[in-house]
Amino acid sequence: MSQNQIAAVILGAGKGTRMKTDLPKVMVPLLGKPMIRHIINTLETLPADKIAVVVSPQGELVRKEVAPYPTVVQEQPLGTAHAVLPARELLKDFEGDVIVVFGDQPTFSKETFLKAVAKRREGNAVVVVGFRAEDPLRYGRLILKNGELEKIVEFKDATDEEKAINLCNSGMMCFDGRRLFEILDEIGNENAAGEYYLTDAVSVARKKGLKCAVVECPELEAAGIDTLEKLAFVENCLKRKE
């Protein structure tokens, strides 16, 4: 299988509770179509050779929306790294680039996806998409050392010096497909929530002697939509751009 291929795993198992809807979060409409449809439409322009969507056991609506693309089930919500694991069989022997993107981040551009892939192909095992936040709020921070990504620090764990950094984690990552599951398998859940976090992929990769890097995108592209207020904000921004 070619190392020049691109696969994408869309994490779409979230509930719409905070959006005050019974719909799965990724099915909430943005400009008239489900959030996840915006992501798929953009990935198709890359073009992505494989697209897989992770759904909850109740994810029938999402399954129908993304067909004919395959879906895999995250049986229990045990964290973002755990959510990628069900895609292992679909990506068996895949040696290209694997983009992992959250289904509630519908505004990433084709250019940003391709920028992450290009950086990955420079010899990095993990590439994280970051953004410069006007107000960093409680975002995780990307810590660089000699131009390489050293670690991702969650806001609550950050020192005052790290909190002063305005390069924030968008959540979207691009992996070397040959290393993806080897890295994910070593992520532990020794944290307050007992969950397996995708952000820990950077420290695991670094311990293996692998290189990690950052590419940047505009802040709006990284907007995660998990409240009605954020939905309204992103819709207004997109309408102004049209």
If one compares 235 and 242, the residue with the highest pLDDT of the two is 235
CB atoms within 10 A of CB 30: 18
Q: Does the structure show a pLDDT above 70 at 134?
A: yes
**Ranges of each domain in the chain:** 6-241
Which of 160, 156, 127, 151 is closest to 139 using CA atoms?
A: 156
3-state secondary structure of 117: helix
Q: What is the pLDDT of residues 97-119, one digit of tens each?
A: 999 999 999 999 999 999 999 99
Amino acid at 92: K
* Residue whose entry in the numeric block shows the structure tokens 């998409």: 129
State pTM to two decimals: 0.95
> Interior CA angle at 112 toward 173 and 9, to 5°?
40
Structure tokens at 221: 């592209």
Computed over every residue of the chain, the mean pLDDT equals: 93
Q: What's the DSSP call for residue 31?
A: T
Q: What is the pLDDT of residues 159-210, one digit of tens each?
A: 999 999 999 999 999 999 999 999 999 999 988 888 999 999 999 999 999 9
Q: Does the structure show a pLDDT above 90 at 241?
A: no
SS3 content of the chain, % helix, strand, coil (to 5): 35, 25, 40
- CATH fold, domain 6-241, is Spore Coat Polysaccharide Biosynthesis Protein SpsA; Chain A (3.90.550)
pLDDT bracket for residue 1 (50, 70, 90) = low
Cβ atoms 132, 166 nearer than 8 A: yes
3-state secondary structure of 139: coil
